[in-house]
Structure 1
Amino acid sequence: MSAPYVLHMITPLANVSPFDVNMAMDAGIDMVVPYTGIETAQVEALTQDAMFSRDPKNAARTGLFIGGRDAAMALDMLDVARKAMFPPFQISVFADPSGAFTTAAAMVAVVERALRRAGLDGLTGLDVQVYGATGVVGGIAGLIAAQAGGNVTLVSHRGVSAVQGKAEEFGRRYGVTLSCADTASAGKAALLERAEVVLACGKAGITVLSAEDLRAAKRLRVAADINAVPPAGVEGVGVQDDGVALPTASGAASGAVGIGALAIGNVKFKVQHHLLERMQTGGTAVAFDFQDAMDAARTIAGKAS
């Protein structure tokens, strides 16, 4: 009989995410143990405590899930955990702070699918604007979109400085170029005049782009919105829309389509479930970040093409 699979869930916050706990249990994890208020400096010791406590043949039956709300911190924790391990004691690690890695991956994958349906080569060469880019999902969505070939602008409503540091950090880590803009100084209309893809990652229940804003988006092809709480983050995009034409009254480009939160969430849910399953069924230790989430999201979104 195999040893039970134990998933240690760590977060710098006061509580782990109930969403992630439910996802882990539904994926078949035998035991979930939460650790809160964890700092990066503590990760090495926690990792080694987890890996040394089991017979090497059961090391792969142990996992570490990294939560929180800070993408860079989660990536740092993932790096520390990986460096703390060595054969034959490797355990699995999965970073997904606030579900941002799986959500952003699902968002970009579903947008790519909509673009392929329109005969385009994904995001390659397109002007991509991320609204709500100050948040963790928006930043990672911008990073993934840039890696996918998009010309990405992180858009802030609190000044360029609110996203500039994030753009520079991701540039250092991954060699991508992310432009930055502020709606107050640049103006939404001026930005949207060149937008071909809009990724709306604002807070729940807040309209980021109104129908009036979209009148300037004459080149728009896809508008995706992760907000499932009314009102919509992009006016005219329904939560279940998956390539549904935007209302002509919006003034957006003819043929522009919307992708809603539930269409994105359906893929996000499957991606997280798939990666959690792989942790416990593969027989070997794995390490997952947003890039692994994107690989899975493309596969899952592609099956529904």
Structure 2
Amino acid sequence: MERPYILHMFTPGSQMSPFDINMAADAGWQVITPYCNVALSAIGALTQDTIFSRSPKGLARTGIFIGGRDALLAADMLEAARKAMFKPFQVSLMADPSGAYTTAAAMVASVEAALLAQAGAGFAGRRVVVLGGTGPVGRIAAVLAAQAGAQVAISSRNGIDAADEAAQQTALRFGVALEGVSGGDRAAMRASIAEVDVILACAAAGVQVVSADEVAQAGALRVVADVNAVPPAGVAGVDVMASRAPIAGTQALGIGALAIGNVKYQTQQLLLRRMHEAGTPQVLGFAEAFEVARQHLAQPAAA
């Protein structure tokens, strides 16, 4: 009898996301078991329960998925699970809290592809502002853009103190340079986008954070990506279906939530399948998600 493919899903929250459960089932995992209210301190013991209960052949058909809503905590949980394992007792690991890792990867990879198509160069030296940057998607998008060579600022509608705290905390955790800027009022918003090349809009759904006039006044702007799928658009002029579509009154291209969402879906599915099919232990975080999103977008049909 063949051993089943078992995916253990750990979350610090009160419930595991149905989205992630469906994605795992579609990727081929046969037994999917959620564990809720899991503390960081419990990850080591749960991981060792997982690895010691199967032979090496069975471990090749075993995985751990880490969810939740906190991008930094998920990274810590992923590292704790990795450290709890040793050869030959290893299983594949993946973290994607609230889809933040795959969404941020899809967003940043989509913008990079647009910059390359538009100007032949990616993020190196670009000025980037992340609106709604204190949330999980915004923080990871900021890290990925910074790692790709951009000068990145995190903006918060709660003002400069909240933005600075998120920037410093995230920069310290992931070893990148980030700064905070205020998005607390219209004047602060206009100042934060005045000279940027890229806007990554990760603000709350259904809230327009940048008006058409403000977009038009951002003279250096080249690409705007918006993950808000609920009307109105987070950035005026960026339709949810936009895929490198010109933004009226500007020289910038827009990438909308559904275009990003398609790349996010493909990225998460490919990562879950990699865990399922690799046959060797995988450790998959946002860096791996970014590489998969880049590879997906490099395919001719994805352009």
Matched, 1:283 2:284: no
AA of the residue aligned to 1:235:
A
- 1:132-181 deviations in whole A, cap 9, x for unaligned? 11110001001100001111000011022323233223322332110111
SS of the counterpart of 2:60? helix
Aligned to 2:217: 216
Alignment TM-score, normalising by the size of structure 2: 0.96
2:239 aligned partner:
238
1:123 Cα deviation from its structure 2 partner? 1.1
Structure-1 residue corresponding to 2:40: 40
* 2:39 aligned partner, one-letter code: E
Candidates 278, 293, 297, aligned match of 1:297: 293
CA distance in 1 between counterparts of 2:61 and 2:157 reads 45
Between the two proteins, the alignment pairs up a number of residues equal to 300
Which is further off, 218-227 or 52-61?
Answer: 52-61
- Residues 1:273 and 2:269 are matched in the alignment: yes
What are the superposed Cα offsets for residues 59-110 of structure 1, whole Å, 9 maximum, x if unpaired?
1211110001111110110111001001111011101001000000000000
Q: Which amino acid aligns with 1:126?
A: R
1:208, distance to aligned residue in structure 2 (A)? 1.6
Deviation at 1:213, TM superposition (A): 1.9
Q: Give the residue type in structure 1 aligned to 2:145.
A: A
TM-score by length of 1: 0.95
Cα deviation 1:21-66 (Å, max 9, x = unaligned)? 1110111111110111110001011101111111122112111100
* SS, match of residue 94 in structure 1: strand
Which shifted more, 207-216 or 23-32?
Answer: 207-216
Unaligned runs of 5+ in 1: none
Counterpart CA distance in 2 for 1:273 and 1:279 is 10
Matched residues in 2 for 1:205 and 1:172: separation?
Answer: 31
1:46-57 equivalences under 5 Å are 46-57=46-57
Q: Any idea what the Cα deviations from partners look like across 1:167-217, whole Å, max 9, x if unmatched? A: 223322332110111123761122221011000001111112111221321
In structure 2, C-alpha distance between the alignment counterparts of 1:162 and 1:43, rounded to whole Å: 30
SS at structure 1 position matched to 2:103: helix
Aligned AA (2:77): M
**Mapped partners of 1:225, 1:30: distance in 2:** 35
Structure 1 residue aligned with 2:138: 138
Aligned residue type for 1:66: I
CA drift of 1:302 comes to 1.2
- In structure 2, stretches of 5+ residues that fail to align are none
Q: Given residue 207 of structure 1, which amino acid in structure 2 is its aligned partner?
A: Q
Deviation for aligned residue 1:119: 2.1
Contact 2:166/2:180 (CA < 8 Å) preserved in 1?
A: no
Task: Give deviations 1:252-287, integer Å, cap 9, x for gaps.
Answer: 3xx211000111011110110000001011101111
In 1: Cα distance, 2:78 partner to 2:195 partner: 37
1:213-262 CA-partner distances (Å, limit 9, x unpaired): 213211110010001111111111111111100012xxx3xx21100011
Query: Counterpart of 1:101?
Result: 101
Q: What displacement does 1:2 show?
A: 3.2
Give the equivalent residue in structure 2 for 1:162.
Answer: 162
The code of the aligned residue for 1:170 comes to T
Kindly indicate whether residue 223 of structure 2 is the aligned counterpart of residue 227 of structure 1.
Answer: no
Residue 208 of structure 2 corresponds to residue 207 of structure 1: yes
Residues in 1 aligned to 2:184 and 2:169: alpha-carbon distance in whole angstroms: 23
**2:94 maps to amino acid:** F
Report which stretch shifted further, 278-287 or 115-124: 115-124
1:80 and 1:66 map into 2 onto residues whose CA distance is 11
Percent identity, please. 50
One-letter amino acid of the structure 2 residue matched with residue 239 of structure 1 = V
**One-letter identity of the residue aligned with 1:266:** N
- Say if 2:194 is the partner of 1:193: yes
Q: Is the 8 A contact 2:223 2:253 kept in 1?
A: yes
- Does residue 71 of structure 1 match 2:52? no
The letter of the residue matching 1:242 is S
- SS of alignment partner, residue 130 of structure 1: strand
